[in-house]
Amino acid sequence: MEWEVVIGLEIHAQLATKSKIFSGSSTEYGADANTQANIYDLGLPGVLPVFNEEALRMAVKFGLAIDAEIGMKSVFDRKNYFYPDSPKGYQITQLHEPIVGMGHIDIDLGEGKSRRINVTRAHLEEDAGKSVHEGFDGQSGIDLNRCGTPLIEIVSEPELRSSKEASAYFRKMQSIVTYLGICDGDLSQGSMRCDCNVSLRPKGQEEFGTRTEIKNVNSFKNVERAIEVEIERQMDILEDGGSIKQETRLFDADKNETRSMRSKEVENDYRYFPDPDLLPVIIDEEYVEAVRSTLPELPEQKKARFEAEHGLSAYNASVLAANREMADYFEVAAEIAGDYKMAANWVMGDLSAALNKNEISISEIPVSAEQLGAILKNVKGSDISNDGAKEVFSAIWQGKGAGLENPVDQLIDQLGLKQVSDTSAIEEVVAQVLADNPKLVEGYLNTPEDKRAKAIGPFIGATRKAAKGVNPQVVMEVLKQKLSELG
């Protein structure tokens, strides 16, 4: 049978507030265990939550960025469950009246292709703590520093149809939240986590099949892998005439398999009800418009502008626009260079390769956008060759520009990369070369017209030998001119 894959994602993104969603504890990552867990986060008797205005603003900003309905009234609910990393015995979340309603994003499917995916909702909630299982003599240690870090849970419609689309959706969400500055997008630190709902149905059937939920997948690659193995697992069962059990599963990246999380199965009655310690959050149009006015240019808009204003290809535009820092870097460099296409090729080519090789991100790059711009401006002006540009770039990367007042120009000089493009100077050298090599000239003149292009090579080599740093294009033109004058 032919199966259709149905995937919906729930993405948790930690909001980049300074303090927690309902308390004044710091949200900084990596502090000593429980040093950022205060009376509120520990859920001590008598403490009460007070809502962080920045978390609200960020959530609304997100809603506007995905063109969603904004909840003018949103309500916090208690989701009741017992777990040692959930100190109050309930999580404060939003069930029926979330801050962000139906919206949508366009995901990039490569080669400039894209597809619109609807986002059901996004709601505010508090993060839980962490359990540490090693180093406590057979017990678990509970660290509640993360408790109360604000999250938005972004729920997609079940419209994704492949693991590739799922990871493209996840990537796009990361791109959006980092553009907005509401989340650092760091998957390795758990700033963004993803739950994948996966089901299969016979092609053409409207009704959804039974789904499973794969919890807490922590990288783009693993989203693809987890979904692929889960699709395979479900297909095997269905092909054998079996049925899928609705359950929560965990992806084991080492074994490349998903497995059932039995412990979560008993927890299915969350007894949601409106949190009586909190009141409805009411916002008005004025508030929403004020937030809207702070929206930056978003990846989609940036991509369109790169195509229209700078003449980039759809593919280049979408790659560069995907990361806000990369896009900003590109624009600064391109502006200085005066050539957007060349800058795009450089950023996507040599620069990206260097970042990958050194395993660093664009924010840590040792060559500034201004410096790259200056280098490329020299290429554009034919003052250095493209190879020369690579040499300067690499020299600055290695720190050789340190202490120099004007590292790009000074390094070009130091490394002798300056090309001579002055025609009269080159004419002199060429005249000398021709005078010094009568046999070569004779040979050239005896070559039939259609094969002369090839025969010009030795003159170029000789000219460049005689005068280092001459612009090869200018040399070529001068040579052609002089030789044609000879016959």
Contact positions toward other proteins, by CB under 8 A? 17-19, 23-26, 32-40, 42-56, 78, 80, 82-84, 87-90, 131-133, 135-144, 250, 261, 263, 268-269, 271-274, 276-282
- Could you identify the residue written with the tokens 């092609």? 203
CA 135 to chain centre: 35
Q: Are 69 and 113 in contact (CB under 8 A)?
A: no
| Closer to other proteins by Cβ: residue 203 or 255 | 255
Contact yes or no for 344/309 (Cβ under 8 A): no
Least distance (Å) from other proteins to the CB of residue 133?
6
Q: What CA–CA distance (Å, rounded) separates 165 from 301? A: 21
Cβ(203)–Cβ(234) under 8 Å?
no
Task: Give the residue with the Cβ less far from other proteins, 34 or 421.
Answer: 34
User: Shortest gap between Cβ of 325 and other proteins (angstroms)?
Assistant: 23
Separation of alpha carbons 263 and 465, rounded Å: 76
Minimum CB distance to other proteins, residue 128 (Å): 12
Q: Which is nearer to other proteins, 57 or 172 (CB)?
A: 57
Retrieve residue 152's tokens: 């938005």
Cα atoms in the 13 Å half-sphere on the side-chain side of 408: 20
Tell me the closest approach of the beta carbon of residue 181 to other proteins, in angstroms. 13
Q: How many residues does the chain have?
A: 487
- Cα–Cα distance, 38 to 296 (Å, whole number): 35
- Tell which phi-psi region holds residue 257, choosing left (phi > 0), alpha (psi between -120 and 50) or beta: beta
Rounded to whole angstroms, the Cα distance separating 185 from 171 reads 10
| Beta-sheet pairing, 77-80 with 103-108 | unpaired
CB 440 within 8 A of CB 446: no
Four-residue CA torsion sign, 155, 288, 276, 41: positive
Which pair of tokens denotes residue 13? Answer: 């993104």
CA atoms within 13 A on the CB side of 13: 29
In the complex, the smallest distance separating the C-beta of residue 124 from other proteins, rounded to whole angstroms, is: 11
Residue 37 or 334: the one with the smaller Cβ distance to other proteins is: 37
Amino acid (one-letter) located at 357:
K
What is the DSSP code string of 199-245?
EEEETT--S----EEEEEE-SHHHHHHHHHHHHHHHHHHHHTT--PP
Question: For other proteins, which is the closer residue by CB, 45 or 448?
Answer: 45
Token output for 337: 């260079």
Of 17 and 318, which CB lies nearer to other proteins in the complex structure? 17
For residue 375, the minimal CB distance to other proteins (Å) is: 41
Q: Which is nearer to other proteins, 43 or 469 (CB)?
A: 43
Comparison of 79 and 161: residue with beta carbon closer to other proteins:
79
DSSP conformation letters of 85-120: T-TTSEEEE-SSS-SB-SEEEEEE-STT-EEEEEEE
Rounded-to-integer distance, Cα 204 and Cα 427, Å: 74
Of residues 136 and 308, the one with the C-beta less far from other proteins: 136
Shortest Å distance, C-beta 359 to other proteins: 30
Quick one: 37 or 322, whose CB is closer to other proteins?
37
Minimum distance of other proteins from residue 20's CB (angstroms): 9
Decide whether 53 or 254 has the Cβ nearer to other proteins.
Answer: 53
Strand partners, 125: 151
Task: Specify the residue, 45 or 438, whose C-beta has the smaller distance to other proteins.
Answer: 45
DSSP tag of 44:
-
CB of 236 vs other proteins, minimal distance in Å = 24
User: Nearest distance from residue 45's CB to other proteins, in Å?
Assistant: 4
CB of 65 to other proteins, least distance (A): 20
Could you tell me the smallest distance in angstroms from the CB atom of residue 284 to other proteins?
Answer: 11
> Least distance (Å) from other proteins to the CB of residue 331?
30
Q: Are strands 130-132 and 90-93 parallel, antiparallel or unpaired?
A: unpaired
Query: Whose Cβ is closer to other proteins: residue 36's or residue 178's?
Result: 36
One-letter amino acid identity for 111? E
